Amino acid sequence: MTRRKNEEDNNEEDSQTEMARIPDSATIEPNLDGQAEFQRVPDTVSVEEVPEAETVVVEALIAPVELVVASDNPLTDENVNQETKLNSPIRASHMTVIYRGSADSFRYGPYKFRPGQPATLPSVIAEELLTYPFEKFEVKE
């Protein structure tokens, strides 16, 4: 007739997983003056965008920046005019990579990432990572 239930709560550990929550990240955009502009990037993940599979996002190019020029036209601070700057191919030496998958961590060779924590890679490695046969790689400009 009368029922009581004293349920033992064995689940004190009420820790919430860090599910698909990407914090604000700072993006550094190189410019030709060798200065780095900091730009705040707001949260880019909405519930509709939560990936189902592993995703690696190359967030942006960051300093330092290398200017690649022909060897017979050595580039120095003195002889670079505005036109040269505009026409020179630019290659960032590093890229910021963010892993957005569901696993607790993602490893690529010696590089290890956790969801939402940006990691900086040499650009060669980052580009190599993009060739990995996951479907969900994104490059973000």
Partner 1 sequence: MATDIAKIHIGQGDVWLGGTAPAAGGDMTDPTSSTINTMTSLFAAPTSGGTAVGFTNGPATLTYKPTYYNVETEQAFAEVLVIPTAEECSVDFVMLEASYTNLNRAMGQATSEVNAGAPTNNTNFVGGKATVATFLLALNSRKRTAVGYYLLTVYQVYSMDGVGLNFERRKEMQNKVTMRALADVSRPVGDQLFQLAEFTANPA
Which residues of the chain form contacts with partner 1 (CB under 8 A)? 1-5, 7, 11, 13-17, 19-21, 47-50, 52-54, 101-109, 129, 132, 134
In the bound state with partner 1, the residue whose beta carbon lies nearer, of 30 and 106, is 106
Q: How many C-alpha atoms does 99 have within 13 Å on its Cβ side?
A: 20
In the bound state with partner 1, the residue whose beta carbon lies nearer, of 3 and 87, is 3
Smallest distance, Å, CB 69 to partner 1? 34
Q: Which two tokens stand for residue 52?
A: 């189902």
Nearest to 136 by CA among 43, 57, 21: 57
What is the identity of the amino acid at 76?
T
Q: Which two tokens stand for residue 125?
A: 């490695």
In the bound state with partner 1, the residue whose beta carbon lies nearer, of 22 and 65, is 22
Smallest distance, Å, CB 132 to partner 1? 5
In the bound state with partner 1, the residue whose beta carbon lies nearer, of 4 and 40, is 4
Q: How many CB atoms lie within 10 A of CB 43?
A: 10
